[in-house]
Amino acid sequence: MRRDAQIAEALMRLARERGPDKSFCPSQVARALDDDWRPLMDEVRRVASGLPLVATQGGEVVDANRARGPIRLSLRQ
């Protein structure tokens, strides 16, 4: 659970820094948390799905947990 809180904090911090009109790749958060970031990607997506963030892929809203391939996250408006 502590890891989830760290991930949530990092996701929301980056989302607020970017602002509501900008998106970011979840890998940016994973990379900030660990040098070996790839194994964190599923956790980052899972935590993101429970936050006031929108996941998009190709401009369409998607479920962060089910989408395959790269997604972008942004603050929910």
Tokens of 59: 């401009």
CATH number where 67 lies: 1.10.10.10
* Beta sheet of 60-62, edge-to-edge order: 60-62, 53-57, 72-75
User: Which residue segment(s) compose the domain that 11 sits in?
Assistant: 2-75
- Domain count along the chain: 1
pLDDT tens digits along 30-75: 999 999 999 999 999 999 999 999 999 999 999 999 999 999 999 9
Q: Quote the pTM value.
A: 0.92
